[in-house]
Amino acid sequence: MARAGVVLQEDVQLKEGDFGELPDQTGQKKTVKSFTWTNKNKVSVQIITYGGYITSIKVPDKQGNVEDVVVGFNNLEGYLQPGNRYMGATVGRVANRIGGGKMTIEGVPYNLIINNGPNHLHGGIKGFDKVVWEHYVKGNQVILSYHSPNLEEGYPGDVLVNITFELTKNNEFFIDYKATTTNPTYVNLTNHSYFNLAGHNKGAAEIYKHVVSINADKITEVDRNSTPTGTLLPVADTVFDLRISKVLGDIIQKIPNSPGYDHNFCVTKGSEQGNTFVARVSHPGTGRTMEVYSNQPGVQFYTGNFLPEGDTLIGKGGFIKKHGAFCLETQIYPDAINHKNFGKSVLYPGEQYHHTVTFKFFS
């Protein structure tokens, strides 16, 4: 385990602390650690070892005023509550929905827990967002590790996951996911941070002012239960065409059969290998801008449609409400295990799942 203290490297300070305690299976208290990076541009990021949550990202505006731009909770208890909406969580073993909770791998059928209408969602009842990860500090990097045993939440294979997090002096926050398995299985990891670049507690009124662009010429069609149908739909001449920047408030109410965006966008990849530009979101009033780059083929754009409309979910800056934040979750196409045209989804022994994403901030 890493020792408590402060690491200085490349103009970035990394500090380790305690975020709270929870009992383990033997009834003993287990400490949840926090790691906070701060660079000389006054950008800071905090993660915790419980669920691999991003609990804070602070970014200055064009006047130098620093605000936290991710929605979340003040303490561990907030992240432990049922209905925390995966705010900042590391999501797995499989992010997004698996239609009917059913999949077949190498001719063997598997029935997974149904926890979202007719679907299996975000790894089940106890996904990766509900475990305490082991941690290791290497220079300016924090590596979180978790061993997911065979048939955990119904998934085959022992899977070892290592996730590397790092903030740079250039306001780039890197997440690098790697996984291996002992048996053919389905792996699709992501981070589920909810962003509001005006400030985490500024709500829907400011979200509607955000300007969004997404580098995608198709989406994966979904039915009324948000289950992918297997069809890829061109975005041209629709409200899903975000290749040219649009003000969110001008289009969010025009999504067919949905109270906002909750769709996988198929990222337009260039001929180059590695990370591709995925999305750019800016808040004109503050000047804060975030760009996303990834090696994944898809990104789920979600506008907090199912956050509560009333005063029922208390966050670190007041009540968290519908359309108060947005998510950009890089991923393999959802439910790819059940749609051959969605690309490779099965991880085999001897292979490595590798997913990289970078969030870059400007003001």
Paired residues of 57 in beta bridges: 45
The CA distance from 206 to 195, in Å, is: 11
Tokens of 184: 């053919």
Find the catalytic residue in 120, 135, 192, 210. 192
Which is nearest to 91 in space by CA: 62, 130, 47, 63?
130
The CA distance from 260 to 245, in Å, is: 17
Report DSSP state, residue 249: H
The CA distance from 228 to 345, in Å, is: 15
Which is nearest to 266 in space by CA: 301, 313, 307, 311?
301
The CA distance from 360 to 110, in Å, is: 39
- Dihedral angle at the C-alpha atoms of 222, 299, 251, 228, nearest 10 degrees? 0
CA angle 295, 301, 303 (to 5 degrees): 150
In angstroms, the Cα distances linking 86 to 54, 67, 73, 123 are: 10, 21, 11, 11
Active site residue 329: yes
Tell me if 38 sits within 8 A of 46, measured CB to CB. no
Look at the block and give the residue holding tokens 């408590």.
Answer: 4
129 labeled part of a ligand binding site: no
CA angle 330, 186, 274 (to 5 degrees): 40
280 labeled part of a ligand binding site: no
262 labeled part of a ligand binding site: yes
The CA distance from 71 to 34, in Å, is: 17
193 labeled part of a ligand binding site: yes
Which is nearest to 237 in space by CA: 220, 261, 254, 259?
254
The CA distance from 311 to 328, in Å, is: 25
Active site residue 192: yes
Residues making up the chain, counted from first to last: 363
Find the catalytic residue in 166, 329, 339, 355. 329
CA 70 to chain centre: 11
Residue 170's CB is within 10 A of a number of other CB atoms, namely 13
192 labeled part of a ligand binding site: yes
Residues identified as active-site: 192, 329
| Residue numbering of the annotated binding site for beta-D-galactose | 96-97, 192-194, 262
| Residue numbering of the annotated binding site | 96-97, 192-194, 262
